[in-house]
Amino acid sequence: MTFAINLNSAELQQICRVLLLVKNKNLGIVPPTPDSTMSETSSFPPHKIIGVAVIWNDQKQILIDRRRPEGAMGGLWEFPGGKIEPGETIQECIQREISEELGIVIEVAEHLITIDHSYTNLRVTLTVHHCRHVTGVPQPLESDEIRWVTLEELEQFTFPKANIQIIAALKGSGGAEEKSIQNSK
């Protein structure tokens, strides 16, 4: 049995929007509301502004975490961070997120890179800073696993596409910022 449906362009666009909203909801992506703040804009697809930390320890290792399997990009490794809250600077966002996600205190240092990346159903702006681990033992409070790795070992882990540019920037700088953080202590 075959069915034919005649839809005008506006009706077809509305159906596509509804289907995309349902798909986003299933992926854990919530569209922005009219009272959206700096962390999400009112564009479509949703736009999230995220502070990201490249955390160095005294052994010249970088802390990465693996996302929980449920949700968007589940199981992938990432540099820790999160959405900026209203009234927060990027540096304050990074410090708060690292405390909440890993239970440690960090010093936010130099800006490394800002990345605008669009996934199929989400646009992100990642503002990435070098950071220094100050105190506390990192714990995977909001992730599946954490690891200290060297710059060279990063290629052994699967990251979301937007994070690949962070790795390239780190390799391009040759870890120069990490050396400067170590020397500033």
pLDDT tens-digit series, residues 26-83: 444 444 433 334 444 456 778 999 999 999 999 999 999 999 998 778 899 999 999 9
Structure tokens at 16: 């596509």
Residue 184 has pLDDT above 50, yes or no: no
Q: Stretch 2-28: mean pLDDT, rounded?
A: 51
Q: What is the pLDDT of residue 40?
A: 45
Cα–Cα nearest to 162, from 49, 18, 17: 49
C-beta separation of 52 from 95 below 8 A: no
Kindly report, residue by residue over 73-121, the tens digit of the pLDDT: 889 999 999 999 999 999 999 999 999 999 999 999 999 999 999 888 8
Query: Which among 39, 57, 44, 40 has a CA at the least distance from the CA of 93?
Result: 39
- pLDDT, position 159: 96
Give pLDDT tens digits for 130-174: 999 999 999 999 999 999 999 999 999 999 988 999 999 999 975
- φ/ψ of 27, rounded to 5, equals -90, -5
10 Å CB burial of residue 57 (0-12, 13-18, 19+) is: middle
Q: Which residue has the tokens 């800073």?
A: 129
pTM of the model: 0.71
Q: Which residue has the higher pLDDT, 12 or 86?
A: 86
Confidence at residue 12, expressed as pLDDT on a 0 to 100 scale: 47
The CA distance from 108 to 54, in Å, is 9
